[in-house]
């Protein structure tokens, strides 16, 4: 029975460190340029701040609209006042009425 021995290559000891450097380089590259990189984190923070201001503006508009709707509930507004508002803002008029704008 004969035994074969492999000759040791100079590069066989460098395979694992080379693969480790490649994996480390991959993650370092994507940490700089990826979707959730260091630079895009700053942009996302600025976008979040802008959206908070938009949210506050929309909440203020909603409160205003809720107050206007609350005024239209029955019992708080008489029919003639509602009729006057509808005629003024919507331009509503019956077919047999004469409208005089001043």
The pLDDT tens digits for 59-92 are 999 999 998 887 777 666 677 777 777 777 877 7
Instruction: Decide if pLDDT at 40 tops 90.
Output: no
Question: For position 76, what pLDDT does the model report?
Answer: 63
Q: Given CA atoms 59, 60, 63, 68 in this order, what sign does their dihedral have? A: negative
- Output the CA–CA distances (angstroms, integers) from residue 86 to 10, 53, 89, in the order listed: 91, 34, 6
Question: For position 78, what pLDDT does the model report?
Answer: 73
What ranges in 1-99 are assigned the alpha helix state H? 15-33, 38-71, 79-90
> What are the two backbone dihedrals, phi and then psi, of residue 37, each rounded to the nearest 5 degrees?
-80, 180
Question: For position 55, what pLDDT does the model report?
Answer: 98
């Amino acid at each position: 029975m004969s035994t074969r021995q492999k000759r040791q290559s100079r590069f066989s000891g460098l395979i694992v460190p080379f693969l480790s450097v490649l994996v480390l380089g991959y993650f370092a590259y994507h940490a700089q340029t990826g979707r959730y990189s260091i630079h895009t984190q700053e942009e996302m923070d600025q976008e979040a701040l802008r959206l908070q201001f938009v949210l506050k503006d929309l909440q203020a508009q909603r409160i205003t609209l809720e107050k206007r709707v609350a005024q239209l509930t029955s019992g708080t507004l008489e029919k003639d006042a509602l009729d006057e508002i509808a005629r003024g803002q919507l331009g509503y008029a019956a077919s047999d009425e004469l409208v005089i704008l001043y």
